[in-house]
Amino acid sequence: MSDITVTLPDGSTRTLSAGATVRDLAASIGAGLAKAAIAGKVNDELVDVYAPLQDAAAVAIVTDKSPEALDIIRHSTSHLMAQAVKALFPAAKVTIGPSIETGFYYDFDVEQPFTTEDLERIEEKMRELAKADIPIRREQLSKADAIKLFAEMGEGYKVEIISDLDVETVSLYRQGDFVDLCRGPHLPSTSWCKAFKITSIAGAYWRGNENNRMLQRVYGTAFSDKKELDAYLERLEEAKRRDHRKLGRELDLFSFSDEVGAGFAIWHPKGALLRTIIEDFERKEHLKRDYDIVLGPQILKTELWQRSGHYENYRENMYFTEVDEQGFGIKPMNCLSHMMIYKSHLRSYRDLPLRFFELGTVHRHERAGVLHGLLRVRCFTQDDAHILCTPEQLDAEIKGVISFVNDVMGIFGFEYEMELSTRPDKSIGSDEDWERATGALLGALKDSGREFEINEGDGAFYGPKIDIKLRDCLDRRWQCATIQCDFTLPERFDLTYVDANGDRKRPVMVHRVILGSIERFIGVLIEHFAGNFPVWLSPVQAMVMTVTDNQQPYAQQVYQTLRAAGIRVQKDFRNEKLGFKIREAQLQKVPYMLVIGDREVETATVTPRFRDGSNLEPMTADAFAEFILKASADHK
């Protein structure tokens, strides 16, 4: 057979014998690279190190330092975990085990849920299998042979998956006596799984369908070395300490109740005050930018949801009811009322742009398995706005929204990233509509001076969009703001305006949120600040406390002065030790404690003590009130 020639990333070429693999190529470059190779990238497609190369291919060697390595390591470690589970629990049935952003998981069908001790045994077995350096090899089978193989193994879930595939052949990966259905690629052997940890367990329905069997989803993470793993586990522990569900209980902000129903938050006084502060801030900021505050009903006729397309495309996530033999849908989004407001008058080009803003509460029937504290609920409030403008106004409106997002994220102290998602294969609207809208979004992103990514073909079918993801103190990304061009609703609701020539034209519509779900944003805020909210957001800004009962008259006077000034203040005049009172206020993460002792009474002052233990200079109650009010005004 003739030789083959391949091209390396630096443009140089290598000539190899026909049938040479990625590993052979690495060895021809150097023994060290051959030892470090875990996969290859052939014509931009990831393959195993044992994959044969074709003539004229562009090839890069993937090592554990390559950007692509982590996904391969984690996927292979999920297979290692499945192998360990099958070794320890032969009756367990395997389903799927992908890599994910934080590691990997594998879903198992077992008779009894795994215990903490089971997970420890599984992890120990994984270490044993990794140490054994078991080769991992790819096999190609016909669809029929693969179904037969897994049927003989009693792996019905794999049979179901393969049966649904519209292919003639499938790839399998074998490591020792364990075999799994997978596209790959995978590590050369189990010994490459060097640093891993099982992190948690949860329930998950097969294929996400609540009518199917509940499976055991075991989560884990993996890295190329122990140092990276240890750093991640440390962040994970910090995330647990900051968990908004835990802090929500401890700070008495909100709760959930089985009697009320899964996914419905109950806001306690301090939590309700926190969200009121945020919502009032939002209203003020929107009014500053010439938005009109509007409000729509909670339920609208089913016919309206049919007209909008929600009934056809979204009804499984909606709640419906009937009143006087008339069907109604509880709104999962706020847009329809805004369309009706626009249609309530004949609009001129002189009226545009119109910016309708609503802090609207919506209900969505999320699956029970995806509910997660405030981050994923069934009832939440969104800071929705719909901007209706002429095509000529679109650029300025989008730039205005990006500027708005930048201002708000700066006030809350978040860094953020932006992504532009463009036209998918299936879409509505003309080429001209898409080009104009995409150009406006792209131009606004470029003018912002910030880096951004483009996700080709990832836009909604009804228009391109910008997704904005904030980064918290643990470097996690959270979907927050969205700027979405929508060609559907103006068409479906026949929205028009009269242009300068007296002709009827279709307005351009931009749907946007800044914070998104208020519930989710508060959950992120709690974790970002670990409950130590800045003064302007703190439900309780100061706590007045006495050393003994003798100071109570003056302490009450201080308390009343602060309340009259608009400070969110509480008092603790209990006959308890001062240290106990201070500790309790610190646990409640109150920014300032005002300890009133004999000296404060004599000098008619207060000595503010910050929650970290540092003190300000003594000052009058009026001066302290001015200090807090200025901090609040400056969003400090």
CA 204/CA 433 separation, integer angstroms: 41
Is 384 among the residues known to form the active site?
A: yes
List the catalytic residue out of 83, 175, 216, 382: 382
Is 485 among the residues known to form the active site?
A: no
List the catalytic residue out of 384, 433, 472, 486: 384
75 labeled part of a ligand binding site = no
The CA angle 33-35-41, to the nearest 5 degrees, is: 55
Residue pair 2/24 in contact (Cβ under 8 Å)? The answer is: no
Is 386 among the residues known to form the active site?
A: yes
List the catalytic residue out of 386, 568, 589, 609: 386
CA 482/CA 520 separation, integer angstroms: 14
CA 339/CA 344 separation, integer angstroms: 9
List the catalytic residue out of 86, 364, 512, 520: 364
528 labeled part of a ligand binding site = no
Tokens linked to 310: 């929600």
State the maximum Cα–Cα separation within the chain, in Å, rounded to a whole number: 101
Is 335 among the residues known to form the active site?
A: yes
Residue pair 592/609 in contact (Cβ under 8 Å)? The answer is: yes
Helix or strand or coil: residue 479? Answer: strand
Is 244 among the residues known to form the active site?
A: no
List the catalytic residue out of 310, 511, 528, 589: 511
Which spans in 243-343 are helix H?
244-250, 269-288, 302-308, 310-314, 335-343
Tokens 């532009």 sit on residue: 420
Residue pair 171/138 in contact (Cβ under 8 Å)? The answer is: yes
List the catalytic residue out of 244, 465, 520, 568: 465
Is 465 among the residues known to form the active site?
A: yes
| Secondary structure element (H or E) that encloses residue 164, with its range | helix 156-164
511 labeled part of a ligand binding site = yes
Which spans in 493-551 are helix H?
518-529
CA 572/CA 580 separation, integer angstroms: 11
Tokens linked to 497: 């305006």
Per the annotation, where are the binding residues for Zn(2+)?
335, 386, 511
Per the annotation, where are the binding residues?
335, 386, 511
Which positions are catalytic? 335, 364, 382, 384, 386, 465, 511
